[in-house]
Amino acid sequence: MTSRGSDGPPGRPRAPLRSNAFPIPPSRHTAIVLFGALLTLGAAPSSAQSWHIEPAFSAQETLTNNVNLVSDESRRSDLVSQLTPSLRVTEKGARTSLIGFVSLPVLLYARTGGQNNNAYPTADLLGDLALVENWLHVEGRITISQQYFNPFGGQPLGLDNATQNRYESDSYHLSPYVKGRTSGGTSYELRNDNVWTNVSNTPVAANDFHYTEFKGNAAHAESIVGWQADFDVNDVAVNDGNTFRTRLVRLQPLYNVDPQLRLVATVGYEENHFPSDDSSDVIYGGAFEWHPTPRTDVLGSLEHRFFGAGYQFSFDHRTPLTVWKVRLSRTTTSFPQQLASLPAGGDVSAFLNNLFLATIPDAALRQQTVDQFIRDRGLPPVLTNALNLYSQQVFLQQSQTASVGLLGTRNTVVLTIFNVRSQPISASGNPLTTPVDFGDNSRQTGISLLWSHKLTQSVVVDATVERLRTVANAPLEGKTNQTALRIAVSTPLTAKTTLFAGARYQTLSSDIATDYSETAAFIGVTHTFR
């Protein structure tokens, strides 16, 4: 697996990473739907007490010497215009809530427009309706995002590079649930998650997913000796006909050592039904919860599972000016389940929310401040993190992530380090020798650093450094190294308008994909209509 231009294991025909010389057809239907959402929400009664709607618009011009991220011999320069209307909405009523954002970046290319002009819709809208107050709810969520297909392929900093490793993922969630507490002090929750995940503009033919999950938990945990129990029934279906079924139940006696420390024992049973084989096994292990201070949480669990040892560990600590996060895990996952979870540390908005928590306790006002902070400085919404692997397979994933955020008078720093190893497995926990896709069986390691420095009261400079390495797991061979640097300066023109300009450099070296390097300069303006 050393020939350049292939992305599959040796001895097995694979479609190569698609050349960037061909166009990606735009998702016109999704773009039209989102544009309609922008118009509809924009016309909503923003003066109503429970509504806060903030439209915004940004325009950016980028001059690049390698628009398609190809080899130096084949590269072309271009001038790219990016026009982005966006909308953030927050609604809180007596029985309803809605929070999220919608944006529709439109990319226009001066020289390569015939093959590259496109729209890249993004959205994350979460709503909740209380059918019976304090008991029966229906939750709905729509997420539309731009993903990268193969971890060995290019993952550029912005949308203006027309890489065909990018594709669109749309997820639609509908979750009725009941949540309450009995008169005897037992809390409970029952939930049915229905998720439809559609993918489009993929470099090779790809299937859509649907998963249905019934899960519930109950706990009587206030006394010194208590208990909790949970079950999970999960079906992940691929539209090629394959279905992956898991059934799991746990009973957990617990002991409250003191108000800060809880110890938990675990016993349970699970069944797994995959297209290749079936298995069943007992579950046993333990867990703990430790809250040494009101701003510190340490959680951990270790269990015997069908794939061996499964564990989860998290450390969260917050001070008025810092946020610290550590995540360790070894568990199974699938593509639609990955999309449903946020990366630990890669979400810049989430990190800034935690940093501003001490100074801005109101959640809605804090989110507005964070959004304006990101727009004023032209910051990326997310930092490089482990790629969500498109896979028609359940796989075992071992993940280690550490993140820190620092907020000072003139400096803001967000640093994330991660290491994620993924490997397809069978229902009996054995590794699959032939992955569905070469990227399924790989290790992703990376570091992301975002630094924002206030030069003067009105001038801010931002720098982003990202380094990503992807290596195939043995016996496969192959690796890709990617590096990206970005620096920008921003200054307000008015209370609602900010001007920014900067430059970037990114490079990829690989024995699987085509090597490239790119240098670009950009200038842009953002305006909010608040």
- For residue 110, the 8-state DSSP code is T
CA distance 507 to 480: 11
Task: Judge whether 265 lies within some domain.
Answer: yes
Using the predicted structure, report yes or no on whether residue 345 has a pLDDT greater than 70: no
Q: What's the pLDDT at 381?
A: 65
Give the DSSP letter string of 245-298. EEEEEEEEEEEEEETTEEEEEEEEEEEEE-SS-EEEEEEEEEEEEEEEETTEEE
- Amino acid letter for position 439: G
Using the predicted structure, report yes or no on whether residue 515 has a pLDDT greater than 90: yes
What is the sign of the dihedral through the CA atoms of 426, 402, 474 and 341?
positive
Q: Which of 53-57, 342-346, 424-428, 521-525 has the highest average model confidence (pLDDT)? A: 521-525
CA distance 219 to 286: 16
pLDDT-derived band of residue 346, with 50, 70 and 90 as boundaries?
A: low
Give tens-digit pLDDT for 367-385: 777 777 776 666 666 667 7
What does each C-alpha distance from 49 to 86, 89, 91, 285 come to in angstroms?
Answer: 22, 13, 9, 49
Task: Judge whether 283 lies within some domain.
Answer: yes
- How many C-beta atoms lie closer than 10 Å to residue 131's C-beta? 11
Q: Which of 96-100, 174-178, 431-435 has the highest average model confidence (pLDDT)? A: 174-178
CA distance 492 to 496: 8
Task: Judge whether 54 lies within some domain.
Answer: yes
Give tens-digit pLDDT for 9-66: 333 333 333 333 333 334 445 544 544 454 444 444 444 447 888 899 999 999 999 9
Place of tokens 């110890």: 263
By C-alpha distance, which of 503, 381, 461 is closest to 61? 503
Does residue 436 contact residue 366 with C-beta atoms inside 8 Å?
no
Task: Judge whether 427 lies within some domain.
Answer: yes
**What whole-number percentage of the chain has pLDDT above 90?**
60
Q: Domains in the chain: how many in total?
A: 1
Q: State the average pLDDT for the chain.
A: 85
Who wins on pLDDT, 21 or 99? 99
Say which residues have a Cβ less than 8 Å from residue 339's Cβ, sequence separation at least 6: 143, 145, 147, 169, 171, 197, 388
> Which stretches does DSSP call E strand in 133-260?
136-148, 166-181, 187-200, 209-220, 225-238, 243-258
Give tens-digit pLDDT for 188-241: 999 999 999 999 888 888 889 999 999 999 999 989 999 999 999 999 999 878
Say which residues have a Cβ less than 8 Å from residue 93's Cβ, sequence separation at least 6: 50
Task: Judge whether 1 lies within some domain.
Answer: no
- For residue 203, the 8-state DSSP code is S
Residue range(s) defining the domain that contains residue 34: 28-528
- How many C-beta atoms lie closer than 10 Å to residue 325's C-beta? 20
Task: Judge whether 317 lies within some domain.
Answer: yes
Q: What's the pLDDT at 6?
A: 35
Task: Assign residue 336 a region (left: φ > 0; alpha: ψ between -120 and 50; beta: otherwise).
Answer: alpha
pTM for this one?
Answer: 0.84
What does each C-alpha distance from 199 to 61, 171, 240, 409 come to in angstroms?
Answer: 29, 9, 14, 43
Give tens-digit pLDDT for 276-311: 899 999 999 999 999 999 999 999 999 999 999 999
Whichever domain contains 230, its CATH number is 2.40.170
pLDDT-derived band of residue 512, with 50, 70 and 90 as boundaries?
A: confident
Task: Judge whether 21 lies within some domain.
Answer: no
SS3 of residue 397 by DSSP: strand
Task: Judge whether 158 lies within some domain.
Answer: yes
- How many C-beta atoms lie closer than 10 Å to residue 18's C-beta? 18
CA distance 184 to 296: 30
Using the predicted structure, report yes or no on whether residue 93 has a pLDDT greater than 70: yes
